[in-house]
Structure 1
């Protein structure tokens, strides 16, 4: 059973972060790349189950889905078909306990029920918010992806909560070896290279431009879902997004037929 934060001040802070994300999404439209940093405080890990309500026909969210879901062929940080009707984008930090909980408890079910059948695509974004150790782990995950082992490495790191020295370079290399990364010298070179730093920075800047303030934060079909949500919240969000895509496809078909 998922643990919940019960301290009122922490619950209000988490809800405030969700509301700030919604406001930022609506304000941003499709203008990704414009900084949305402000006076909301430093990003943090979020464990609250603060559900969102929104209009499934809101065009702003449809625009954001098209902008935030990259749908790139061969993207090592993504799983699922590029033409899946729904894309879940996750912004996460490898030192975030709630991100680990999602990886261990919720993501396998989403893959089994939705990714494998072609309904859902999952795209991971490195969003390190806890300093140098988080940044190193993010670069390491990108480096593992260069050898086709991102998800295996990702799951190894999140198999338990790891902080500080547990994410030192030698420890990350050990995890990479366990994840099936064959060329560890290349892994270390890639992890410490400028391309890895640029890739992580790109993901960070995208998240900040959207107003992401906590980890994990998810965007499902262009709509935000923040914190350690139960499986049913993801299922509801996927169903809504799938219904919107189906309606759009129906409208498009009707227009083409002249009806």
Structure 2
């Protein structure tokens, strides 16, 4: 895998200008006391890409009576019409994935681990996967995120996701012509609409929503995951996801009794 880029003053300034947006006292507490701490605890020596410094300093030290773990679990949107999700909206377990198309470890997860999770858990109704666009490597990352969203508007997000994460795909970059090529490869039927959608205000708003959510719960690297509110950092072995999903399913079943 290529080495992670070093933090720069420009990227720090850009990301930090977004991080304080919409931070509630309760979710800020989750970022400090659970989200960031737990992500760092589960973060492997290799398996995440991190270009920016921690956002924890941005969070106000205000305490909330609500359980931080419950707040993280509540981030699951469970919207039946979510174009960037797979699985039943009422699945007992929801995996939220914060990823960047230029992240090598995100690609590794997408190729090596995610297909198995879909086959094993999504298809039997146990798991729902909700994607969050979390571009952290600059303009190309943001352009790819908007393009993925636009492909999703024509029900081709999964296909675009696979094409953009194919072995060697990110090395070709995500310029405008390349994104159109990926959309064509993904079978997006109306390329004119695709171009309009990815450049539109709705794509920008959807991206900002996902970014703000990630920053305010303490995400600092990709890929990062929540499984029913439990943070997992990095492209860890499939067994780590199997264990987390099994635990979350058991907890959900116990709570339903």
TM range (shorter): 0.7 to 0.9
Q: Is the 8 A contact 2:27 2:71 kept in 1?
A: no
Return the match for 1:108 from 88, 109, 115.
Answer: 115
Against the structure 1 CA distance between its residues 28 and 46, is the aligned structure 2 distance closer, same or farther, given a 3 Å change threshold?
farther
TM-score (ref. length: structure 1) = 0.75
Q: Deviation string for 1:151-178 (max 9, x for gaps)?
A: 1001100012444762111111011011
2:51 corresponds in structure 1 to none
**When the two structures are aligned, how many residues end up with a matched partner?**
212
In structure 1, C-alpha distance between the alignment counterparts of 2:146 and 2:127, rounded to whole Å: 26
Against the structure 1 CA distance between its residues 119 and 237, is the aligned structure 2 distance closer, same or farther, given a 3 Å change threshold?
same
Determine if the alignment matches structure 1 residue 62 to structure 2 residue 70: yes
Question: What does 1:57-96 correspond to in 2, within 5 Å?
Answer: 59-66=67-74, 68-96=75-103
1:48 corresponds in structure 2 to 46
In structure 2, C-alpha distance between the alignment counterparts of 1:230 and 1:130, rounded to whole Å: 24
TM-score (ref. length: structure 2) = 0.75
Q: Is the 8 A contact 2:163 2:169 kept in 1?
A: no
1:174 corresponds in structure 2 to 181
SS at match of 1:219: strand
Q: Deviation string for 1:71-114 (max 9, x for gaps)?
A: 00111100000000000000000000100000001001000110
Once the 2 structures are TM-superposed, how far is the Cα of residue 32 of structure 1 from its aligned partner? 7.0
Against the structure 1 CA distance between its residues 28 and 227, is the aligned structure 2 distance closer, same or farther, given a 3 Å change threshold?
farther
In structure 2, C-alpha distance between the alignment counterparts of 1:33 and 1:169, rounded to whole Å: 39
Against the structure 1 CA distance between its residues 196 and 91, is the aligned structure 2 distance closer, same or farther, given a 3 Å change threshold?
same
In structure 1, C-alpha distance between the alignment counterparts of 2:84 and 2:192, rounded to whole Å: 21
1:234 corresponds in structure 2 to 241
Structure 1, unaligned runs of 5 or more: 6-26, 51-57, 251-259
In structure 2, C-alpha distance between the alignment counterparts of 1:47 and 1:183, rounded to whole Å: 43
Against the structure 1 CA distance between its residues 29 and 65, is the aligned structure 2 distance closer, same or farther, given a 3 Å change threshold?
farther
Q: Which has more radius of gyration?
A: 1
Once the 2 structures are TM-superposed, how far is the Cα of residue 127 of structure 1 from its aligned partner? 0.2
Against the structure 1 CA distance between its residues 79 and 184, is the aligned structure 2 distance closer, same or farther, given a 3 Å change threshold?
same
Structure 2, unaligned runs of 5 or more: 4-22, 37-42, 49-65
Once the 2 structures are TM-superposed, how far is the Cα of residue 49 of structure 1 from its aligned partner? 6.0
